[in-house]
Amino acid sequence: MEESSGGISSMKFFSDQHLSYADILLPHEARARIEVSVLNLLRVLNSPDPAISDLSLINRKRSNSCINEGVLTDVSYIFLSTSFTKTSLTNAKTAKAFVRVWKVMEMCFQILLLEKRVTQRELFYKLLCDSPDYFSSQIEVNRTVQDVVALLRCSRYSLGIMASSRGLVAGRLFLQEPGKEAVDCSACGSSGFAITGDLNLLDNTIMRSDARYIIIVEKHAIFHRLVEDRVFNHIPCVFITAKGYPDIATRFFVHRLSTTFPDLPILALVDWNPAGLAILCTFKFGSIGMGLEAYRYACNVKWIGLRGDDLNLIPEESLVPLKPKDSQIAKSLLSSKILQDNYRDELSLMVQTGKRAEIEALYCHGYDYLGKYIATKIVQGKYI
């Protein structure tokens, strides 16, 4: 997309508000915003000199991101300022993107009328059937959904789009969805309890816990090991994993835990590599791609491990060279405004050594060592 220079013919709709955030709306409110957008388009088309210059959308690039540092709370988050990009019908490079916005908006309107919710994957296949000339990949749908969010200033969930969830939870937590029996997350076995993608259901789930810590685990295999060993019996905690890079539902779930149990520290156990730090930062600050909604998911997450001072616990042969992808992620993080100094020092050490370490490297001390490692870190207060 290109930078917008403004202009009288720009169709800003809801994008000219001062603050860049997405509202959570009721279905009829979201439909009303879609209807206003369509009426604005028709007004331009029916003008004596119809000129559809562009759709002004919030710029979702790093250059337009800022960090809001908590003053009354410990939570900081990414937000987007009011710099715009444009998608133009008259520009050959962006004409299809312009049409995609209206196609997705139309589909969302139908979904809201039917009082249904769909995942972005389901939305892709429906659009692929209805408009194959405009939608050929999932990424095109994902980007267009974010364009619609930026245009209408309402969340994806308000548009009837449900998050796909990979997240699991286990440990000292009881969850009770409306009208259902409570689920004991300590009795769900090593597979844990699946986190729903229905954000409204998550928001209305009753939570009870006697835990003292919430621990995010980057990897499913590590989560499985900790839960199978019932580490939560020795360290009163709740374990959560998104099986890698966190999806929206898992981030919302962690945020909901943080507001329900505000005194519980949230700790993250990730690989000592740039990708692990990027995962932690997504839970902690949100993401630029979802900058309009980031503040709804940010939490005050602390880094418990792995960190540079743990390298003495790991055999030299278990350290592996950084991959090209790691170097790209490191460069991106180091250039960002969000990285605090101690995180920046850790990342710089990774780059200087050219090495990365995985959590599994701690198994050299035995398969039951992970629980001891976490307990030692907690007792020593070694999380940043």
Q: Which residue from 40, 45, 53, 50 is spatially nearest to 9, judged by alpha carbons?
A: 53
Residues paired with 240 in a beta bridge: 169, 216
In whole angstroms, give the CA distance from residue 332 to residue 260. 33
Report the 10 Å Cβ neighbour count for 382: 15
147: nearest Cα among 216, 79, 209, 99? 99
Residues in the chain: 384
Sheet holding 168-171, edge to edge: 193-194, 168-171, 237-241, 213-217, 266-269, 301-305
- Stretch (H or E) spanning 119: strand 118-119
Please say whether the beta carbons of 158 and 68 come within 8 A. no
Q: Say if residues 252 and 297 touch (Cβ distance below 8 Å).
A: yes
Cα separation, 186 vs 229, whole angstroms: 11
The one catalytic residue in 125, 157, 245, 383 is 125
Active site residue 77: no
Residue type, 295: Y
Q: Which residues are catalytic?
A: 125
